[in-house]
Amino acid sequence: MASQVRSLDELPVSALKGAGAHTLKRLEKLSISTVGDLLFHLPLRYEDRTRVTPIGQLKPGDHALVEGRVELAEILPKGRRSLIIRIGDGTGFLDLRFFHYTAKQREQLARGKRLSCYGEVRTGYAGLEMTHPDYKLIDDMDADVSEQALTPVYPLTEGIHQKAIRRLAAQALSMADESRLPDLLPEPLIPAGYRLPLRDALRLLHQPPAGCNETSPKLTAARSRLAFEELLSHHLSLGRFRTQMQAHRAPVLAINRQAAERFVRSLPFALTGAQQRVIAEIEADLCSDRPMMRLVQGDVGSGKTVVAAYAALAALSSNYQVGIMAPTELLAEQHFRNFRQWLEPFGVQIAFLSGRLKGEARKTELEAISSGAAGIVVGTHALFQEQVVFHRLGLIIIDEQHRFGVHQRLALREKGLQDGLYPHQLIMTATPIPRTLAMLGYADLDLSVIDERPPGRTPVKTAVIPTSRRADIIARITDWVSKGRQVYWVCTLIEESEVLQCEAAEKTAVMLAEALPNVRVALIHGRLKPAEKEAVMSAFKERHFDLLVATTVIEVGVDVPNASLMIIENAERLGLAQLHQLRGRVGRGPGEAHCVLLYQPPLSETARQRLGILRDSDDGFVIAEKDLELRGPGELLGTRQTGQIQFRIADLTRDGPLLDAVAQSAAILLKDYPDRAERLIRRWVGHSVQYAGA
Ligand code: ADP
Ligand code: MG
């Protein structure tokens, strides 16, 4: 019986010659398990061994291929013991230095032998030399030692050599024919300009012809061709995930009309048009039996919390529990206060959970949650600890989603699974996600945007000022305070250490209290107990203090409309999104609002540009777009922390412009070639992707 040809997408690398147990383990570290994976493991750069350079023309710093005859071989005991092989080609001499060598090597590299070698040229003791060059002995006197193609240099992991991976990649490439590595993308679906067969693109990138370099248009096109296929596969995979999610059932949550009206009337303000629109979108989702997966995006201060409270009321009306998760203790506490104020009049009990809650208090809360006595549970990521058992969780609200990974979000959802019903999910973020990125990173979510701010907000005037002018700024605080306004002073440090941040804040508070005897100074930082933090915050809100010295714990959620001047130290060290969040604490009431970004000179060109973006714009979306241009998307999506999507070839900064075409081609592919979609997902996404496993 003829054995069926196995696609390289499925063929394990162990099928290659020279891939032993040791090598397989190392390859696994590089996420290479199939021959296909190996082919998508592209070189980082290339070495040019396509030309032989006469030794006489070598300069220090060159990477070059040379050939010559061994003139001298000796062991130098001086300094570090090494084997020196001097070769000559008639134009000059070059020393090859080996600190490690075997007896066999010593024997091979004898006088009169001819060899070629490639390496970096440096100035040695007795002229130019190469240390541990790649070398080959040449037996055939007339052999051409130069190579046809550039030599690939692959990303490596410890314990595996370039040579080994080159051999394996070359072998894989020689197997890649039409039947074993079929083109899955019909040509018309590939953007014009990149239309070359997959195998040709791979061959170009693994073995570029002489005369090319990393940036040659041919190679760039080949890379785009592959990136396109990869992005398309992820797009398809996210789409499939979404479809799977929609096949799940969720409880139907209908809000009680009277309760809804009473709630809206009880608010001290009228909802903005944008808030009303988003509430309507959420209501429509909640009364369907498919789990809602909705992302509410709204700039800092746009009023997301009240929208969440409205959604919570819908779940409560239908006798379901609501879990609200916030990324920081302070924000969780603030939500706890807000929700109590807004929803306790409806007779609901609200529980609070955080990592710091211990002993009896914690036990009481856990019982209230599992018995169902608590209708709402507000907390930090402590909400998905094992001991937390929900009674009837119908709605999960996650605030400032960018702080959580996709996995945490999904874990909480699994916790709520009961009688085959999944809870609805509402995710809120102030970090605007550019549309193209949203298509990939958040493709499993529907999007609602609160694109209007509550009336009466004043734009914050922002100044970028060097720390050398700190004294002027401190002097300004007195004026400000004498007008009855309050001030935030934010201490930041590059060190991730919370302890150091708190110490810096303590010192600053002491310094400011001394410098400003008529100003009442309070201090808040992450090491205070929750009750202490809450006491400081409410004392500040009630104007018992004029100046609040804080660490970045106040980044999210803090809401004191009378505080209208913020000074941020070491602003150049923070991300723009974070600075924008911080700045969002001021400008929440009537009257002028100011933000001073203090920096430590000298400022790099990029840092200057970044702070300039913030000075010139108050619009979170504009800031995010510009930040993306400067920094690349990884940070924005939080992929660093969450490992959300790891691409092999695509790079969203470089390949972002392909995403529109990706979406179009994906739609056609699903309609006309559904079987190809599955194979593409297997080829590129495989089993490695977390969101698909949820
Ligand atoms: P964010 O979207 O940043 O989470 P919040 O929900 O914390 O914003 O709201 C910021 C402030 O605006 C809060 O004091 C809130 O009570 C208030 N607020 C929310 N909606 C409105 C509105 N429609 N009119 C006036 N103030 C509002
Ligand atoms: Mg908020």
Q: Quote the ligand 2 centre to 400 CA distance (angstroms).
A: 7
Which numbered ligand comes closest to the C-alpha of 331?
2
Give pLDDT, residue 636.
43
Ligand 1 atom with minimal separation from the 456 CA: 25
3-state secondary structure 318-382: CCCEEEEECCCHHHHHHHHHHHHHHHHHHCCEEEEECCCCCHHHHHHHHHHHHHCCEEEEEECHH
- Ligand 1 midpoint to CA 293 (Å): 23
Phi (first) and psi of residue 43, to 5 degrees:
-60, 150
Specify the residue with its C-alpha closest to ligand 1, atom 25. 454
Residue nearest to atom 16 of ligand 1 (CA): 303
Atom number in ligand 1 closest to CA 306:
6
User: Ligand 1 within 6 A of 454 CB?
Assistant: yes
> What's the CA-to-centroid distance between 586 and ligand 1, angstroms?
12
Q: How many angstroms separate the alpha carbon of residue 561 from the centre of ligand 1?
A: 10
pLDDT of residue 496 exceeding 80: no
Rounded average pLDDT over 631-657: 61
Cβ neighbours of residue 532 under 8 Å, at least 6 residues apart? Answer: none
| 305 Cβ inside 6 Å of ligand 1 | yes
pLDDT at 385: 81
- The predicted model gives 660-670 an average pLDDT of 91
CB of 317 closer than 6 A to ligand 1?
no
Q: Which CATH code, of 2.40.70.10, 3.20.20.60, 2.40.50.140, 1.20.210.10, is assigned to 51-146?
A: 2.40.50.140
Predicted local confidence at residue 394, as pLDDT: 95
> How many C-beta atoms lie closer than 10 Å to residue 550's C-beta?
30
- Residues 168-197: tens digit of each pLDDT: 999 999 999 989 999 999 999 999 999 999
CATH 3.40.50.300, the chain: domain bounds: 257-450, 460-617
pLDDT tens digits for 37-77? 999 999 999 999 999 999 999 999 999 999 999 999 998 87
In the structure encoding, which two tokens stand for residue 318, read together? 């239908």
User: Could you give the percent of the chain with pLDDT greater than 70?
Assistant: 91
Quick one: pLDDT at residue 146?
A: 87
Residue 663: the pLDDT is: 87
Ligand 1: does its nearest atom lie under 6 Å from the Cβ of 589?
no
Q: Just give the CATH number of 257-450.
A: 3.40.50.300
> Tell me, what's the pLDDT at 691?
43
Site to probe by mutation for ligand 1, drawn from 277, 278, 300, 306 as the one with most ligand atoms within 8 Å of Cβ, is 306
Of 263, 264, 269, the residue with max ligand 1 atoms within 8 A of its CB, to mutate for a pocket test, comes to 269
317-351: pLDDT as tens digits: 999 999 999 888 878 888 998 999 999 999 999 99
* CA nearest to 637, candidates 311, 447, 401, 463: 401
Best CA proximity match to 425, nearest among 323, 275, 339: 323
Name the β-bridge partners of 548: 488, 522
pLDDT > 50? residue 642: no
Instruction: Identify the pLDDT of residue 383.
Output: 87
How many whole angstroms separate alpha carbon 353 and alpha carbon 640?
Answer: 27
Kindly report the protein residue whose alpha carbon is nearest to atom 14 of ligand 1: 559
Q: Is the peptide bond before 133 cis (omega within 30 degrees of 0)?
A: no
Q: Where are the beta strands (DSSP E) in 514-637?
A: 521-524, 547-550, 563-568, 593-599
Spatial separation of the C-alpha atoms in residues 197 and 185, rounded to whole Å: 9
Does the pLDDT at position 410 exceed 70? no
Q: List, for residues 579-631, the tens digit of each pLDDT value.
A: 888 898 898 888 899 999 999 999 888 889 999 999 999 888 788 777 767 76
User: From the CB of 451, is ligand 1 less than 6 Å away?
Assistant: no
pLDDT at 407: 58
Q: pTM for the complete prediction?
A: 0.67
Instruction: Check whether 207 has a pLDDT greater than 80.
Output: yes
Check pocket membership of 559 for ligand 1, CB cut-off 6 A. yes
Provide the pLDDT for residue 556.
64
Model pLDDT for residues 239-250, shown as the tens digit of each residue: 887 787 778 999
**Residue 312 burial class via C-beta count within 10 angstroms: exposed 0-12, middle 13-18, buried 19 and up:** buried
CA distance 141 to 314: 86
Q: What is the mean pLDDT of the chain?
A: 87
Question: 633 pLDDT exceeds 60?
Answer: no
pLDDT digit string, tens, across residues 553-588? 777 667 898 999 999 999 998 888 788 888 988 988
Nearest ligand for residue 303 CA: 1
Q: Which ligand is nearest to the CA of 278?
A: 1
Is there an atom of ligand 1 within 6 Å of 306 CB? yes
- Longest C-alpha distance within the chain, in Å? 100
Pairing, β 374-379 against β 321-325: parallel
Q: Is the CB of 219 under 6 A from ligand 1?
A: no
Question: What is the band of 643 on the pLDDT scale with cuts at 50, 70, 90?
Answer: very low
Starting from the CA of residue 310, give the closest ligand: 1
- Residue 533, token pair as written in the block: 């933090």
- Reported CATH class of domain 460-617: alpha beta
Q: What is the pLDDT of residue 341?
A: 92
Q: How confident is the model at residue 88 (pLDDT cuts 50, 70, 90)?
A: very high
Least confident segment among 113-117, 275-279, 637-641? 637-641
- Predicted local confidence at residue 494, as pLDDT: 56
What is the band of 443 on the pLDDT scale with cuts at 50, 70, 90? low
Calculate how far, in angstroms, residue 337's C-alpha sits from the geometric centre of ligand 1.
14
**Confidence class of residue 409 from pLDDT cuts 50, 70 and 90?**
low
Q: Are 358 and 286 spatial neighbours (Cβ–Cβ below 8 Å)?
A: no
Q: Where do you find CATH 2.40.50.140 in the chain?
A: 51-146
Q: How far is the CA of 305 from the centre of ligand 2 (A)?
A: 6
Q: H or E stretch including 87?
A: strand 82-88
pLDDT band at 386 (very low <50, low <70, confident <90, very high): confident
Residue with the larger pLDDT of the pair 405 and 42? 42
Measure 245 CA to ligand 2 centroid, in angstroms. Answer: 27
